Amino acid sequence: MPFTIHVTKDFDQMSQVAAELVEASIDHRLAEADSFVLGLATGSSPTGVYKHLAKAFNAGRLDAQRVTTFNLDEYVGLPGENPQQRALHPESYSFFMVSELFGLLNPRIPQTNVPWGTLIDQDALLAALEAGEGFKLAGADKGRAVVIDPDAEGYLAWIRDEIMNGYTAKIAAAGGIDLHIIGVGGRGHVAFHESGIPFDASQMLLVKLDDNTIANAVADGHFRSADEAPHFAISMGADLAFQARQVLLLANGARKTGPVTEAVLGEVTTDVPLSYVQKYVADGGNMTFVLDETAAAELLANAPALAERGYELVDHRDEPYPSVTSITFARSPQTGTLS
């Protein structure tokens, strides 16, 4: 049950250490297998890692042609008249991945997958939910999972079969995820598996976002109004994300200190979905945390408790490292890729 917690000085060193671990994992796997399945997250935490990985792919240290990717989550209800417009919206996670990784590569990763939330028409979804049949809401807090009944029909059945079950089936057909990069929210949530949603609600979740989440998205400038902001999301649940053969968590900053500590040293609870890591490790999973020293502060203060549980603590803070901001790319006028 390997569980290694890497402590770094800051975001730049966190990004470098994590990228080296991901690159080593891909390199090791591809030495003995034909392909590698990489799970990806969005948000600010992995952006530095993606810069390092883009350099590794473009330098030929990693073979992008032998990699397949699956992302954790995507919004439902982005502005747009059709799926293409919604996927190209600057706040879509599809757009994020093209901007931060996929579009920087030459050659490209041949198959990248983001949950198909942009295919769902939010008005049609709302109409199906307002009918009041074929689903139940699961969760102890404001963000709820819409659990669609096995015998549901119509639009909800299509979402269940094509969008949710279709994504899990595609992951299974690819052989499962070899390594999954994840982050954590301020309340300990993983992707849109929000606080209070049961671990067994569904492997893929259709999540009804709470009003706070929507209001914060507007206040942060991502959307002009609550009406324009998505009210739903499609997301891997913790149970699916932690089926990966290896999981690597990135966390930096004071907002992550509490949830990281609770997840590692507290009880396994849906109040802190990241606490699923304890079950994952106990079941034989390969778990890695890469934290900056602020996010790791309370774990460092409780190092004896980590050792007692058999968790390894690795301190990188005195090691030299390059800044992520020093990673520069030359844009090709022919392809638009970065090298």
Q: Is the dihedral of CA 133, 134, 136, 137 positive or negative?
A: negative
Q: Which residues of 18-55 are buried (b: 16+ CB within 10 A; e: fewer)?
A: bbbbbbebbeebbeeeeebbbbbbbbebbbbbbbbbbb
Task: For the chain, 339 residues long, give each residue's pLDDT as a single digit of tens.
Answer: 589 999 999 999 999 999 999 999 999 999 999 999 999 999 999 999 999 999 999 999 999 999 999 999 999 999 899 999 999 999 999 999 999 999 999 999 999 999 999 999 999 999 999 999 999 999 998 899 999 999 999 999 999 999 999 999 999 999 999 999 999 988 899 999 999 999 999 999 999 988 877 887 888 788 899 988 899 999 999 999 999 999 999 999 999 999 999 999 999 999 999 999 999 999 999 999 999 999 999 999 999 999 999 999 999 999 988 766 555 544 443 344 443
> Is 336 within a domain?
no
Q: What does the alpha-carbon distance between residue 113 and residue 170 come to, in Å, rounded to a whole number? A: 9
Domain range enclosing 232: 3-321
Instruction: Say which DSSP state 28 is in.
Output: H
> Is 288 within a domain?
yes
Per-residue model confidence (pLDDT) at position 164: 98
> Is 334 within a domain?
no
> Is 326 within a domain?
no
CATH of the domain at 279: 3.40.50.1360
> Is 327 within a domain?
no
The per-type count for the chain, helices as H runs and strands as E runs, is 13, 13
The pTM for the full model equals: 0.93
Relative to beta strand 36-40, strand 179-182 is: parallel
Q: What does the alpha-carbon distance between residue 1 and residue 39 come to, in Å, rounded to a whole number? A: 20
Q: What does the alpha-carbon distance between residue 128 and residue 242 come to, in Å, rounded to a whole number? A: 31
Give the residue from 151, 166, 43 showing the smallest Cα distance to 99. Answer: 43
- Maximum distance among all alpha carbons in the chain? 60
69 HSE (CA, 13 A, CB side): 21
Per-residue model confidence (pLDDT) at position 334: 38
Helix (H) or strand (E) holding 36: strand 36-40
> Is 335 within a domain?
no
Per-residue model confidence (pLDDT) at position 231: 92
Q: Number of structural domains, the chain?
A: 1
Per-residue model confidence (pLDDT) at position 326: 56
Per-residue model confidence (pLDDT) at position 324: 65
> Is 328 within a domain?
no
Per-residue model confidence (pLDDT) at position 329: 46
Give the residue from 251, 208, 257, 215 showing the smallest Cα distance to 233. Answer: 208
Per-residue model confidence (pLDDT) at position 217: 81
Give the residue from 94, 144, 149, 98 showing the smallest Cα distance to 117. Answer: 94
> Is 329 within a domain?
no
Angle at 20 between CA 204 and CA 256, to 5 degrees: 55
